[in-house]
């Protein structure tokens, strides 16, 4: 009997050893993608000491902040196209809808989008708010027509709570208490209404995101890919008054190089901003009004920061934070008077640079920063590497995994485009080529930066960067190189 007991005990110990040395494969990590519209890299954790952004700063303290992240197009639609497909694409806001139309015509196919790729690899995919160009991802006059889907086959749920703003289009350009844009000239360019966070659309987007996160974190069988898109600080600049009040007495920096360029550039007259009611004021010649605009922009950033904090608090409460990759991404930058521009849509630094923060479970490097040059198209392959799924061959970007391990790496040149020009950014220079052959070259090692075109005096660098472009350009943009002398 004693021998039998010893044998049973030995077998039990052996089974314990086997189970400990050969654990069941863990569920793949979840993904939480936080998209913020029109967000400059102007956060406290990115060196802007006047900005109050404690929640995003907390995320930055847990991950890697990319100080030189560049989007591939300075507008919402085409920038989000590159994020969600991993490919360079069209330069217009309808880029994703055109892709959807191509899929629906005559049995044509397209490469899977990022959420579709993860969906086919076992993820539950949910989108809340403005992730693709239209909040909720649908077309029609009010962006709520379910027969016109911006991203076919991508999301298990594609949600856009609208509350008193009535429809996604209303929420996109909404102010407090359900006010929606009918004629831009009748809507104030900025506002700070009394009341709660839910008086503006991003408050209810955060609430829906929390609801979805609570449900997703309770499912055991599948990992989730949850994308949450916040609208502010997109125009009009509207945030609850307490957020504006926090900037009372705060000195808001005045940017350098506020003059309109004297030679040909991608400058524009800030049409999106100027069409709103500005009470007859122009920030380019009214310093007090310019300061007001910058304060309201900052208030919007702080308001969105609070919504990010609400979602992150639920992630932690649920316990899912221990197995969730978190990415915060700005869809492009925004001029606050640099080059006499108030908006995006240029190929200057201010339009193309935006914050990127990546945190993943088990990171050895936290609260770290890198000045490596990276692009939005790099996010898709990076998420594949971090989650352990196959990287598709069709993506144009490079995985950022090496930089996450070694922040001293330099990255790769960043490519961007509009309908009329293309640009490439390296560690030291920016080259911009126009359709008519005009060339801009800016030296970022010089204090003059992008205020002085040195193309005529540094022809060798122009030629060197044209070769860099040749290596990166998709076929559709190669004709721009052909127009060059």
Q: Does pTM surpass 0.85?
A: yes
How far apart CA 451 and CA 288 sit, in angstroms, is 24
Which position among 35, 76, 300, 384 bears the catalytic label?
A: 76
- Determine whether 300 is an active site residue: no
- For residue 70, cis peptide bond before it (omega within 30 degrees of 0): no
Q: Which of 242, 236, 172, 228 is nearest to 201 (CA)?
A: 172
Q: Can you give the pLDDT of all 485 residues of the chain as single tens digits?
A: 333 333 333 333 333 333 333 333 468 999 999 999 999 999 999 999 999 999 999 999 999 999 999 999 999 999 999 999 999 998 999 999 999 998 876 556 789 999 999 999 999 999 999 999 999 999 999 999 999 999 999 999 999 999 999 999 999 999 999 999 999 999 999 999 999 999 999 999 999 999 999 999 998 789 999 999 999 999 999 999 999 999 999 999 999 999 999 999 999 999 999 999 999 999 999 999 999 999 999 999 999 999 999 999 999 999 999 999 999 999 999 999 999 999 999 999 999 999 999 999 988 767 799 999 999 999 999 999 999 999 999 999 999 999 999 999 999 999 999 999 999 999 999 999 999 999 999 999 999 999 999 999 999 999 999 999 988 887 777 766 766 65
Q: How many CB atoms lie within 10 A of CB 89?
A: 24
SS3 sequence of 300-354: HHHHHHHHHHHHHHHHHHHCHHHHEEEEEEECCCCEECHHHCEECCCCCHHHHEC
Residues 355, 343 contacting (CB under 8 angstroms): no
DSSP annotation of 237 reads E
Contact 226, 33 (CB under 8 A): yes
Residue 384 has φ and ψ, to the nearest 5°, of -60, -45
User: Is 76 considered catalytic here?
Assistant: yes
CA–CA separation, 288 vs 66, rounded Å? 33
Question: Which of 35, 69, 133, 335 does the annotation list as catalytic?
Answer: 133
Q: State which H helix or E strand residue 225 sits in.
A: strand 224-230
User: According to the model, what pLDDT value does residue 364 have?
Assistant: 75
Write down the domain spans for the chain. Answer: 26-411, 420-485
Q: Which of 480, 372, 472, 369 is nearest to 434 (CA)?
A: 480
Rounded alpha-carbon distances, angstroms, from residue 337 to 314, 332, 344:
37, 16, 11
Q: Contact, 246 vs 318, CB < 8 A? A: no
Determine the CATH number of domain 26-411. 3.40.720.10
């Amino acid at each position: 009997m004693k021998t039998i007991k010893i044998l049973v005990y030995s077998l039990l110990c052996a089974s314990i050893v086997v189970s400990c040395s050969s654990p069941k494969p863990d569920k793949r990590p979840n993904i939480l993608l936080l998209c913020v519209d029109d967000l400059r890299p102007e956060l406290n954790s990115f060196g802007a000491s006047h900005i109050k952004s404690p929640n995003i700063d907390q995320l930055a303290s847990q991950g890697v902040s990319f100080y030189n992240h560049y989007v591939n197009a300075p507008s919402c639609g085409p920038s989000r196209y590159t994020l969600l497909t991993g490919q360079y694409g069209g330069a217009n806001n309808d880029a994703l809808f055109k892709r959807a139309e191509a899929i629906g015509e005559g049995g044509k196919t397209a490469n899977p989008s990022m959420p579709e790729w993860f969906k086919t690899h076992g993820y539950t995919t949910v989108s809340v708010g403005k992730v693709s160009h239209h909040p909720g991802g649908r077309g029609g006059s009010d962006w709520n027509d379910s027969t016109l889907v911006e991203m076919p086959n991508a999301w298990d749920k594609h949600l856009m709570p609208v509350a008193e703003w009535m429809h996604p289009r209303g929420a996109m350009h909404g102010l407090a208490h359900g006010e929606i844009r009918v004629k831009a000239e009748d809507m104030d360019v900025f506002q700070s209404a009394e009341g709660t966070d839910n008086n503006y659309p991003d408050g209810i987007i955060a609430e829906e995101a929390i609801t979805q996160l609570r449900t997703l974190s309770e499912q055991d069988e599948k990992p989730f890919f949850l994308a949450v898109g916040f609208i502010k600080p997109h125009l009009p600049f509207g945030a609850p008054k307490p957020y504006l009040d926090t900037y009372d007495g705060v000195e808001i920096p005045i940017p350098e190089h506020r003059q309109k360029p004297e030679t040909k550039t991608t400058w524009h007259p800030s049409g999106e901003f100027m069409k709103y009611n500005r009470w007859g004021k122009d920030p380019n010649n009214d310093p007090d009004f310019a300061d007001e605009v910058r304060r309201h922009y900052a208030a919007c950033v702080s308001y969105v920061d609070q919504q990010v904090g609400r979602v992150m608090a639920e992630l932690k409460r649920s316990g899912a934070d221990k197995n969730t990759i978190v990415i915060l991404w700005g869809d492009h930058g925004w001029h606050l008077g640099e080059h006499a521009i108030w908006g995006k849509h240029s190929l200057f630094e201010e339009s193309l640079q935006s914050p990127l923060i990546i945190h993943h479970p088990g990171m050895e490097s936290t609260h770290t920063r890198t000045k490596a040059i990276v692009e939005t198209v790099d996010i898709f392959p990076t998420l594949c590497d971090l989650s352990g799924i196959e990287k598709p061959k069709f993506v144009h970007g490079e995985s950022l995994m090496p930089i996450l391990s070694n922040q001293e790496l330099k990255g790769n040149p960043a490519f961007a485009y509009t309908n009329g020009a293309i640009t490439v950014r390296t560690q030291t220079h920016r080259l911009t080529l126009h359709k008519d052959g005009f060339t801009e070259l800016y030296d970022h090692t010089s204090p003059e930066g992008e205020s002085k075109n040195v193309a005529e005096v540094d022809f060798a660098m122009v030629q060197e960067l044209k070769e860099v472009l040749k290596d990166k350009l998709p076929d559709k943009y190669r004709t721009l190189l052909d127009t060059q002398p």
